């Protein structure tokens, strides 16, 4: 699933552990969202090898003829165009949304391939999680509203994944609101 929840254990503030959430204290919960990747690098290599083999079949009758050299550049162009389009799609899919939840703060950081990172911060006590079954840009459109700003979350997820994410997020917010504040 493209949504991964992490619940860091209680640890000292300077433990040296890596977290995608910036802050002195570890978050109560961390969520990392990424789009589904259905084709791995190995899968792409196999796809191109199989396609090249299939594209060579029509060239067999042309062996030893000048028509082979006329057809070959067109077949190579098809192969390169496919490779380029899949590579571009893979780069565009390197989108990440990271949600970090503390008792007194929630942050959502969206990192895209060709745009600067965007960050949103609010108080979890005032956050409302809304899902619009129809009428949004996508079915089951999931938004977080805090303060005077509303953001979308997980627009690249399937409608079923967004419903599950809403339930998980509401549970995490409920736990953050009920967690007693630690005294330093």
Q: What is the pTM of this model?
A: 0.73
Domain co-membership, 65 together with 155: no
Domain co-membership, 164 together with 141: yes
Domain co-membership, 13 together with 53: no
Q: Considering the domain boundaries, does residue 130 fall inside one?
A: yes
Segments forming the whole domain that contains residue 30: 3-37+93-178
DSSP designation for 137: S
Of 55, 4, 66, 1, which is closest to residue 29 (Cα–Cα)?
4
Domain co-membership, 56 together with 136: no
From residue 112, alpha-carbon distances to 7, 65, 85, 94 in Å are: 24, 49, 18, 7
From residue 75, alpha-carbon distances to 48, 85, 89, 136, 144 in Å are: 12, 16, 21, 42, 49
Cα separation, 5 vs 30, whole angstroms: 6
Q: Considering the domain boundaries, does residue 184 fall inside one?
A: no
Domain co-membership, 98 together with 112: yes
Q: In total, how many domains does the chain have? A: 2
Joined tokens for residue 47: 């796809």
Whether the Cβ atoms of residue 75 and residue 83 lie closer than 8 Å to each other: no
* Per-residue model confidence as pLDDT tens digits over 135-147: 778 888 999 998 7
Domain co-membership, 28 together with 50: no
Whether the Cβ atoms of residue 111 and residue 96 lie closer than 8 Å to each other: yes
In 40-158, which ranges are continuous DSSP H helix? 41-56, 66-92
Per-residue pLDDT of the chain (184 residues; tens, 9 = 90+): 578 888 876 555 555 554 567 666 888 899 999 888 888 888 888 998 999 899 889 889 998 999 999 999 999 999 999 989 988 888 877 889 999 999 889 999 999 888 889 999 999 989 999 998 887 788 889 999 987 889 999 888 889 999 999 999 999 999 888 877 655 4
Cα separation, 154 vs 145, whole angstroms: 14
């Amino acid at each position: 699933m493209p949504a991964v929840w992490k619940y860091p254990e209680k640890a000292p503030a300077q433990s040296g552990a890596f977290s995608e959430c910036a802050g002195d204290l570890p978050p109560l919960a961390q969520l990392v969202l990424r789009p589904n990747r259905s084709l791995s690098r190995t899968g792409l290599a196999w796809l191109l090898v199989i396609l090249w083999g299939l594209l060579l079949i029509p060239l067999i009758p042309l062996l030893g003829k000048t028509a082979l050299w006329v057809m070959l550049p067109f077949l190579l162009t098809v192969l390169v165009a496919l490779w380029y389009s899949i590579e571009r799609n893979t780069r565009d899919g390197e989108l990440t949304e990271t949600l970090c939840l503390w008792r007194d703060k929630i942050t959502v950081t969206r990192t895209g391939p060709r745009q600067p990172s965007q960050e949103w911060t609010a108080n979890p006590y005032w956050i409302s999680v809304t899902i619009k079954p129809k009428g949004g840009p996508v079915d089951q459109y999931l938004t977080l509203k805090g303060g005077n700003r509303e953001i979308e979350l997980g627009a690249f997820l399937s409608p079923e994944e967004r419903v599950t994410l809403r339930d998980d997020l509401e549970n995490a917010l409920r736990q953050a609101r009920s967690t007693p504040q630690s005294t330093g």
